[in-house]
Amino acid sequence: MRSIYGFRLSDGHCWGILPGEGTGGWADEFARLLGLEPLQGPADKTIRLERFPHSSGAGDGCLQAPHGCGGEGWQVRRSPFLEIWRHRAVPQIVCGLHETADFLHVREQMRCALFPVYDLTVRRGGLPLHGALVEHDGQGVLLVGRSGVGKSTACRRLPEGWNPLGDDLALAVRIPGGGFAVHPLPTWSAVGPNSEKRAWDIKQGVHLSAVFFLTQAAEDEILPAGKAMTTVILADAAMKIFESVRVREQTIEKTLIGGNVFANAAAMAKSVPTYILRLSLTGCFWEKIEEVMEKGGARRPLETGAIDGRTSGSVIVRAGRGY
């Protein structure tokens, strides 16, 4: 019998990954990417992997239930290459993998298989976020920004003493006593069949000390971000993750998730210092970050105009779409 892989997040919740027949190789690669190890002890929630034919749905739209998923009350999410079956009364979540030899399809399966982790994390007060996670002196820092703004480049420019844990995605969880801890997630675009064997250790959580929203500029500068702006940008950065796992196709589901995401983003904006980092191509921006984190104080928050230098109140909306 194959081992159950597992990981425990900083909120104390433990996940198990149980390979079914014909899914061992898939599970091994998924575990390698996320730095998973054989699980010691019980899991709070288990994702059971099953191998499905190319499509388990009949032509009339009726779904063929996987083994152990008979009866009523099952909720099914369908993606092009996998299906996720959940039931309130059943502790296991069934992830049905469609047969495919295309690596890009397999990568998409792995990306979408994390949906249950994202969903339950949001229900428990956390957020998946489109942002880079770096660690400095035991403190976690999130660099949040739209694609192309320079998150990966900023991570590569960091000097010794700074530890980039992930340059694209992160999972923030609420921790006992208040605050958030953040775990790295894979940069899926960097995962390829012949690429360097990179891994992102999801077990490695760091306390979130600050969030910086990136924007390009001629000179490095840090400005405080107001709570309203922070809430909008964080909520948008989280919903982009859900859209990447095809939540956009589930209208009711997206509405329910979106409400929880916004509430959690507001809680993060209230409890974690947030700033706007104007990022130049050649400056030592990390020194600015160190300075503001050491001081712990900032000027009056800027609710509008901080991202692009204008004063229009519509900046908040544009920032929400851009990040």
- Distance, in Å, from the CA atom of 128 to the CA atom of 149, rounded to the nearest integer, reads 19
Query: How far apart, in whole angstroms, are the C-alpha atoms of residue 323 and residue 70?
Result: 41
Give whole-number Cα distances, 91 to 16, 50, 102, 209, 234, in Å.
Answer: 11, 16, 31, 34, 30
Contact yes or no for 317/255 (Cβ under 8 A):
no
For residue 29, the SS3 value is helix
**pTM assigned to the model:** 0.86
For 302, other C-beta atoms within 10 Å of its C-beta total 18
Angle at 31 between CA 118 and CA 191, to 5 degrees: 80
Distances (CA, A) of 93 to 47, 54, 243, 248: 5, 20, 20, 21
Provide the pairing of β-strand 274-279 with 206-216.
Answer: parallel
What is the rounded CA–CA span in Å between residue 139 and residue 130? 19
- What is the full per-residue pLDDT of the chain (323 aa) written as tens digits? 578 999 999 999 999 999 999 999 999 999 999 999 999 999 999 999 998 865 444 433 445 656 666 667 788 888 888 999 988 888 899 999 998 889 999 999 999 999 999 999 999 999 999 999 999 999 999 999 887 788 899 999 999 999 999 999 999 999 988 899 999 999 999 998 875 688 999 999 999 999 999 999 999 999 999 999 999 999 999 998 998 887 655 567 778 888 999 999 999 999 999 999 999 989 999 999 999 988 764 433 434 333 433 322 222 222 333 33
Amino acid at position 192, single letter: G
Residue 60 confidence (pLDDT): 37
pLDDT score of 76: 86
Tokens (6 digits) for 278 = 């104007």
Q: Which fold has domain 127-322?
A: Rossmann fold (3.40.50)
User: Among 134, 144, 205, which residue's Cα sits nearest to residue 171?
Assistant: 205
- What confidence score (pLDDT) does residue 267 get? 96
Q: Where in the chain is the domain with CATH 3.40.50?
A: 127-322
